[in-house]
Amino acid sequence: MPVFFLAGHTTSWTLFNIATVPGVQDRIAEELDSLGLLATPQRPTPRELQWEDLKALPYLTAATKEAMRMLPVVSVMGRVAGSDMMCGPYKIPKGTVVGTPLFAIHNTIHNWQEPEVFRPERWLDVPVETYVYDSTTNTSGGE
């Protein structure tokens, strides 16, 4: 059940930003309409979304990524060091639990200009494949 609640919260946050930030909803509607995916008076029954359509919806993808940046589903990600290692000047012994504060990283002025502003445009020049992880080959971005 916790995953369901997180997914609902994430969806709500995404839809809230799409609906309240000027221009975002209209731009997404234009994308959907251009692919025949939006109900209109001229097309009361839109066609069904296909997997391939996702690559043709860059602004919708950008809006979703921006919502995930501002309020990630998981605020801290923990991993266990598999070997002794150095992180900058710090020695991390094997077996140490290391926490990555995703919310803090995604909402700091050190990484983002105006991190408190919902701006999907910041993702438009980022290749979609950059953020696709293939667990079978342990690679991302087609590498």
Q: Are 104 and 52 in contact (CB under 8 A)?
A: no
Q: Is pLDDT above 90 for 89?
A: yes
Look at residue 32 and tell me whether its pLDDT is greater than 70: yes
The residues that bridge with 100 in the sheet, in sequence order, are 77
Average pLDDT over residues 39-56: 92
* Phi, psi at 53, each rounded to 5°: -65, -30
- Per-residue pLDDT, 127: 72
pLDDT of residue 118: 96
Higher pLDDT, 136 or 93: 93
Confidence (pLDDT) at 4? 46
Average model confidence (pLDDT) across the chain: 86
pLDDT top residue among 130 and 49: 49
Confidence grade of residue 143 (pLDDT, cut at 50, 70, 90): very low
**What mean pLDDT is predicted for residues 114-133?**
81
pLDDT value of residue 39 = 95
Tens digits of per-residue pLDDT, 102-123?
Answer: 999 999 999 999 999 999 999 9
End-to-end CA distance of the chain: 35
- Phi/psi of residue 67, each to 5°? -65, -40
pLDDT: is 143 or 59 the higher one?
59
Residue 61 has pLDDT above 80, yes or no: yes
Tell me how far apart the alpha carbons of residues 28 and 21 are, in angstroms, rounded to a whole number: 12
CB-count burial class (<10 Å; 0-12, 13-18, 19+) for 99: exposed
Query: What string of DSSP letters covers 94-140?
Result: TT-EEEE-HHHHHT-TTTSSSTTS--GGGGTTS-GGGG-EETTTTEE
